[in-house]
Amino acid sequence: MFDWNYLAQQLINGLTLGSIYGLIAIGYSLVYGIIGMINFAHGDVYMISAYLTAIALAICSLFGIHSVIASLFITMFFAMSITGLYGWAIERIAYRPLRHSTRLAPLISAIGMSIVLEEFVRISQGARNQAVPMLIKGQWHIDSLTLISTIQMMIIAATIISVFFLSIIINKTSIGRAMRATQQDLLMAEILGISANKIIPLVFVIGSVMAAIAGCLVSLNYGSFNYAIGFIIGIKAFTSAVLGGIGSLPGAMLGGLLLGMAESLYTGFFESDYKDVFAFSLLILVLILKPSGLLGTADVEKV
C-alpha cells in the first residue's frame, strides 16, 4: 500500500532543499542576465556565509547575547553584509578588468577566484568540519506522521520574502529599471546615462546577499559545514538556473524547486547514491526538449 504520509514528508524536504537551490540560483541568473557571464565563484560565497554564520554566533555568545531572535538577526545581518562585500570584490577583481575581453577570459578568471576563495578559507579556518549550535529547534505536526521543523519553515518563508522584495526592487524601483535597461542593451544604457560600473557591482552584491541568506539558514539547519561545500551546491544551483532558464529570476526559483523535489523524491523512493545522476539526467532531458530552459527565452542576435 502506498504511503501518502511518506510522500508528503519527502515533498516538504524537497521544497526546503529547492528553496535553497533557488536562492543561490538567483545569483547566477542575475549576473548572467546583466553581463552574459557565469559567476563560478558564487558557490564559494555561499560557503563563506556559512563560516560567517559561525563567527557571528560566536560573537553573540562572547557578548552574552542569548536571545534567539537577536542572535539570528545579528547573524543574518553580519553574513549578508560581509558576503555583499565579497560579491563587490569578485566583480571588481575578476570581471571588470575583463568586461570587454573574450567570453572565455572572465570564465577562467571566475574559476580562479573560486579556487582562491576556497583555499583562503581552507588555510585560514582549516580543512576539518566546523559546527554551529542548533539555534532554532522545534517541529510541527502536519498530521500524525508528517513533520516540518521550525528551521524548514523559516527557510521556505525566507525564500518567499526574499524573492518578493527582490521582485519589487527589479520591477518597481529606479535601480530595477536601470538593471533591466542594462540587461537589454549595455551600450545604449550607458549612452542614456546609466553607469554600468554602478549597476553591475550591485547585481553581484544582491546575488551574494541571496547566497548569504541560504548559507546562514542551511548552516543553522544542518549544523556542520566545511570549506568544500560551495562546489557541489554551486553546481546544483547553477543546474537549477539552467533548468529554469538562466537569466530568468522566476526560472531560477522554478528550477531550484524542481531540482530539490526531484532529489528528495528519488532519494526517498529509490537509491540515494544516484540522486545526482537522476537530477542531471532531468536537466539533460529538459535541455533536449527546450534548450533555453523552462522559462527561458532564446537569445536573439542583434544586428
Average pLDDT rounded to a whole number, residues 44-54: 93
pTM (predicted TM-score): 0.90
Q: For residue range 64-115, what is the model confidence (pLDDT) as tens digits? A: 888 888 999 999 999 999 999 999 999 999 888 887 787 788 888 888 999 9
The predicted-structure confidence for 138-193, as pLDDT tens digits, reads as follows 888 777 777 888 899 999 999 999 999 999 999 899 998 998 888 888 888 888 88
Looking at the DSSP assignment, which residues form a beta bridge with residue 60? none
What digits encode the pLDDT tens for the residues 2-18? 677 788 888 899 999 99
Kindly state the average pLDDT of the residues 201-224.
Answer: 91
**Which single residue is written with the C-alpha cell 574559476?**
111
Do the Cβ atoms of 53 and 75 come closer than 8 Å? yes
Cβ neighbours of 283 (radius 10 Å):
18
Distance CA 39, CA 20 (A): 18
Q: Average model confidence (pLDDT) for the chain?
A: 87
Mean pLDDT of 235-256: 89
3-state secondary structure at position 141: strand
pLDDT computed for residue 302 by the predictor? 46
pLDDT tier at 197, thresholds 50, 70, 90 = confident
- Domain 10-289, CATH class in plain words: mainly alpha
State pLDDT tens for residues 109-136.
888 999 999 999 999 988 888 888 888 8
Beta strands in the chain (DSSP E): 130-131, 139-141, 147-149, 224-225
Per-residue pLDDT at 299: 58
- The predicted structure's pLDDT at residue 2: 64
Domain boundaries, the chain: 10-289
* Residue 45 Cα to chain centre, angstroms: 9
